[in-house]
Amino acid sequence: MDFRLDNGWQIRPIGGSTGMAYMGINEEQQKLFIKRNTSPFLAALSLEKITPRLVWTKHTSTGDTLTAQEWLNGRCLKRKEMKDPAVAKLIARVHQSNLLKKMLRQVGGVYLSPADLLGNYFRGLSSDLRHHPLLKKVANFLRANQPMLDYHHYQVSHGDLNHKNWLLSDNGRLYLVDWESAALADPALDLSMLMRQYVPRQDWQDWLINKYQIRVDQQLKKRLQWYEMVQLLLEIKEFHQRGRFFEMNRNILDLAKIFKKMI
C-alpha cells in the first residue's frame, strides 16, 4: 500500500522477498531507497561507505522505523565478477573495521560460534538426515573438531554473500547490501561462503593471498574447510525441507568429496 511522508514524498513497494523495501519519490521525481525496520547498524555501514549513503531515519505513527538511502542506478554483480579484487577488498574492509565491530556490538549484534551453527543444523533436523550415514559422520567430525578461534578475534560477518547482494553503481562504486544476517563471527565463515560459490578451489590460495591479502596457514585452511562443510550441511537440511532433492543430493556429493580429504 502506498503512503505519504512529509514534504510530498510518497513510498511505493518495490518487491523483494521480505516486503520491506520501497522507493521514495517526491514531486520533483527525486528518488530514495527506503527500508522498513532495518537494523540501526545501517548508520555505521553508511559511514564506512560499505552501503549507499544513509539520508535520514524516521519513526512512523505505526511504530515502524523507516531508513532512507540514496537511490543509485546500477546492477547486481554477475557470478563471474565475484572473483574480482574489488570484492575481496570490500569484504576485507568489513572484516577489518573496528567501527563496524563496535557498532554491531552496541546494537545487540549476536556472536555466531561453530557450536551455534551445529545447533542450527540439528534443530528440527528430520530423521532421514539425522540417520544418513555420511551426514552423521560429518556432523560428528565437525562437533569434535570445532575451530577454536578466540571470541576477541571475531569480526563483523555479512552472512549472505550471494552475488545478488552486491551493488555496482553506474559510477563504478561497489556496495554490499542486505545486512539482515550480520553477526560477529570468525571471518572464515564469510570467506568459505564466498569462495565455495564463486572461486574455483584451485584458486583459493591465490585469491586469499593476493586479493583478500591474508597469510594462509594450516589453521586458516582447516577453519575454511570446517565452515564449508557446516554450510553444506545447513543447505542440505534446507533443500530437504523444501523438497529440492536434486540440489540436496548435489550437496551431499560435494560434501563426500571434501570429507574424504579431511579424514
Q: Do 57 and 100 lie in a common domain?
A: no
Q: Do 237 and 187 lie in a common domain?
A: yes
Q: Do 164 and 242 lie in a common domain?
A: yes
The C-alpha cell at 204 is 583459493
Q: Do 13 and 52 lie in a common domain?
A: yes
According to the model, what pLDDT value does residue 98 have?
95
According to the model, what pLDDT value does residue 263 have?
66
According to the model, what pLDDT value does residue 65 have?
82
Dist CA 10 CA 229 (whole Å): 46
According to the model, what pLDDT value does residue 151 have?
93
Q: What angle do CA 164, 165, 169 make, to 5 degrees?
A: 90
CATH number of the domain enclosing 42: 3.30.200
Number of domains in the chain: 2
**Catalytic: 160?**
yes
The residue annotated as part of the active site, out of 116, 128, 160, 190, is 160
Q: Do 61 and 157 lie in a common domain?
A: no
The domain in which residue 55 lies consists of 3-71
Dist CA 121 CA 208 (whole Å): 28
pLDDT (tens, 9 = 90+) of the chain, 263 residues, equals 344 566 667 777 776 555 577 777 776 667 888 887 788 899 999 999 999 999 888 877 777 788 888 999 999 999 999 999 999 999 999 999 999 999 999 999 999 999 999 999 999 999 999 999 999 999 999 999 999 999 999 999 999 999 999 999 999 999 999 998 999 999 999 999 999 999 999 999 999 999 999 999 999 999 999 999 999 999 999 999 999 999 999 999 999 999 998 76
Give the type of residue at 68.
A
* 98-135 per-residue burial string, b: 16 or more CB within 10 A, e: under 16: eebbebbeeeebeebbbeebbeebeeebeeebeebeeb
Q: Which of 36, 56, 71 finishes a domain?
A: 71
DSSP code for 164:
G
